[in-house]
């Protein structure tokens, strides 16, 4: 026997549960996680990029430099399997991100360094010696 449901007889909560907006609410966290927040700072000696990377270890993060473009990326694959006499449950997740930054000509690319501490990736981009600006001074006219 086939059961037919009239759309008008199905409770509206079912509509809320099965419509696309319901499932989109689960993706909000993943969308923000797929593109980590960054802070970029500059002083007279260097640029610094801080990347929010909670839950990632330094082995999960890759930093590449090619043609004056610095690319930070991560890819994580997790699988979890649970077996019981009566059922088997398998869950897997895949998280990745990739951010690229065009470096200015003033960056000394040979001395770029990176560190990771408490979920924050810090990349230091020192300026080349010849472009580090000295403090301005007043010149007296004689």
Dihedral angle of Cα 129, 132, 137, 141, to the nearest 10 degrees: 70
pLDDT grade for 135, boundaries at 50, 70 and 90: low
In this prediction, residues 69-79 reach a mean pLDDT of 87
Cα distances (Å, whole numbers) of residue 44 to 56, 131, 136: 31, 9, 12
User: For residue range 81-98, what is the model confidence (pLDDT) as tens digits?
Assistant: 777 777 777 777 778 889
Token digits of residue 125: 């981009």
For the chain, the domains span: 37-131
39-69 burial, b at 16+ Cβ within 10 Å, e below that, comes to eeeeeeebbebebebeebeeeebeeeeeeee
At residue 61, the pLDDT reads 92
Q: Is 63 left (phi over 0), alpha (psi -120 to 50) or beta?
A: beta
At residue 111, the pLDDT reads 94
Q: What value does the mean pLDDT of the chain take? A: 77
CATH number of 37-131: 2.60.40.790
| pTM recorded for the entire structure | 0.61
All residues at 6 or more sequence positions from 110 whose CB lies less than 8 Å from its CB, including other chains: none
pLDDT grade for 64, boundaries at 50, 70 and 90: very high
Estimate the share of the chain in helix, then strand, then coil, as percent rounded to the nearest 5.
Answer: 20, 45, 35
Q: Contact at 8 Å (CB) between 34 and 97?
A: yes
At residue 20, the pLDDT reads 45
């Amino acid at each position: 026997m086939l059961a037919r449901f009239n759309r008008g007889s199905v409770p509206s909560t079912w509509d809320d549960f099965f419509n696309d907006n319901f499932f989109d609410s689960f993706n909000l966290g993943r969308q923000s996680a797929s593109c980590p927040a960054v802070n970029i700072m500059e002083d007279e000696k260097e640029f610094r990029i801080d990347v929010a990377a909670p839950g990632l270890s330094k082995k999960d993060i890759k930093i590449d430099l090619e043609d004056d473009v610095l690319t930070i990326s991560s890819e994580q694959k997790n699988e979890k399997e649970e077996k019981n006499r009566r059922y088997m449950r398998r869950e897997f997740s895949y998280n990745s991100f990739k951010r690229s930054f065009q470096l200015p000509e003033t960056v000394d690319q040979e001395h770029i360094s990176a560190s990771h501490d408490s979920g924050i990736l810090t990349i230091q981009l020192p300026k080349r010696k010849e472009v580090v600006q000295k403090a301005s001074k007043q010149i007296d006219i004689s």
